[in-house]
Amino acid sequence: MTKDEAPPTLVPTSGVRFEDQVRVVRAYVILSNNGTEPVHLKEVKGITRLARSQISGLNSYMVQLGLLEHVSRGHYKPTTAAVNLCSSAPGEEDFSQVTAVLEGSALFSLVQQYLRVHGGGSSPGLIEYIMEKAGTEETYRVQSAVEWLIRSGLVERGQD
C-alpha cells in the first residue's frame, strides 16, 4: 500500500444488514445490465431506498471483497462474480459463486492470519481481532462481514 492509498475497508458501513448488502450488489447487477455498464451510486440509492452515505460506504467494502469495481467518481460496475451470485432469484443466491474473489479479499487474509496463529480460536477472539483491525466497536459490522465468508464456504460458522 502506498502512502496515497487508504487501508482496505474490512467491514461494511454502519447500519447495513447482510441482506441489504446483498440487495445492493443485486441492484448494481440489474442496473448495470449484468455488469456491462457503470452505475452511479444515486441510482442504487433510489432503487434500494438506503441512504447515500450507506451506499457510498458500502461501495468501498464491496470493492475490497471483489464484488464491485470502481470505474470513476461515484460509478461502479459489478464483477463477474457478483453477476453470477445474483443470477438466481432474490433469497436464492449461490454464494459459492463468490468464493474465489472472497479468497483474495483483505478480510479473508486477516481471518487466515488469526486462524494460523490461534489454530482456530473462539468466535469472540476472532471478532475482537477484526474489530481492532477495522477500527470499529460495532460487533454487528464484523459479524456481517464474516457472514460473506461463511455463506461462501470459506469459514465455518463455528470459526467465526
Domains annotated for the chain, with CATH where assigned, are: 8-153 (3.90.241.10)
Grid cell for residue 52: 447515500
Global pTM exceeds 0.85: yes
- Within 8 A by CB and 6+ apart from 81, the residues are 66, 67, 97, 98, 100, 101
pLDDT band, residue 6 (cuts 50/70/90): low
Q: 97-145: per-residue pLDDT in tens? A: 999 999 999 999 999 999 888 876 556 688 899 999 999 999 999 999 9
Cα–Cα separations (whole angstroms), residue 6 to 2, 60, 64: 8, 10, 11
Q: With contact defined as beta carbons under 8 Å apart, do 111 and 103 qualify?
A: no
Q: 27-44: per-residue pLDDT in tens? A: 999 999 999 999 999 999
- In the predicted model, what is the mean pLDDT of residues 2-24? 79
